[in-house]
Amino acid sequence: MKKSKVKKPQRILCYIDYAKYSPYLVDYAFQLSKLIDAELFVLHTVTDIKSAAGFYVPHINTDRLEEEVVKAAKDKMYAICSQVAGDDIDAKHRLVMRGVPAEVINRVIKDRSIELLVLGHEVKKGALDAFRSDYAEKFMKNPTIPFVVLPV
C-alpha cells in the first residue's frame, strides 16, 4: 500500500486483555467497524500454561487446567462482546487463543487478513509509561499494519 493512498480497512482486530477498560475498547472498535462497514474480530490471549509450568509441577494436569482457563476466557469474551454489541459479534469473530500476545496478534493479522488493529494502553505519569504494555509495545516497535492506540 502506498503511503499517499488511504485505503478503507475491511477487517479490524481489537485486542483486549480483560482489564476494566476492555468493554470500552470493544465498543470503540465496534462503532468504528459499523461506521466504515468493516468486519470486526475481538482477540484475547491466554498464557500457554504448559510452557510456564516447567518440570517442577508434575502433579498438576496442565491439559485440564488449560481447558478450564480457555473456557473461562471464552465466557468472559462472550460477556464483554454481548454487553457492548448484543449478538452482533458472533462466535467466529470472538477469538481466544493461547500464546504470547504480540506473536498471536501478528499471526491473526496474517491469517485473517486484518487491515487495522485497535489496542489500548493505560495512561500513567510520564510519556514513556503510556506504552508499557508488553503486547502493545512489541507490536508498535515493528507494526505490520496501521493501528489505533486508545488511551484508557
Question: How confident is residue 50, by pLDDT bands cut at 50, 70 and 90?
Answer: low
Share of residues in the chain with pLDDT > 70 (%): 78
b/e per residue, 93-131, with b = 16+ CB within 10 A? bbbbbbeebbebbbebbeeeebbbbbbbbeeeeeeeebb
| Residue 70 exposed, middle or buried by CB count within 10 Å (0-12, 13-18, 19+) | middle
**Contact in structure between 41 and 93 (CB atoms under 8 Å):** yes
Mean pLDDT value of segment 62-72? 84
What local confidence, expressed as pLDDT, does residue 2 receive? 56
CA triple 139-46-121, angle to 5 deg: 40
> Which residue ranges form the domains of the chain, and what is each CATH number?
11-151 (3.40.50.620)
Q: Which residue has the cell 468486519?
A: 39
Quote the CA–CA distance of 96 and 119 in Å, as a whole number.
16
Lowest mean pLDDT segment, chosen from 18-32, 65-79, 98-112, 132-146: 132-146
Q: Tell me how far apart the alpha carbons of residues 108 and 15 are, in angstroms, rounded to a whole number.
A: 11
**DSSP string for residues in 96-133:** EEES-HHHHHHHHHHHTT--EEEEEE---SSTGGGG--
Name the band, by pLDDT with cuts 50, 70 and 90, for residue 63.
Answer: confident
How far apart, in whole angstroms, are the C-alpha atoms of residue 43 and residue 15? 5
What are 91-100's pLDDT values in tens digits? Answer: 999 999 998 8
- pTM check: above 0.85: no
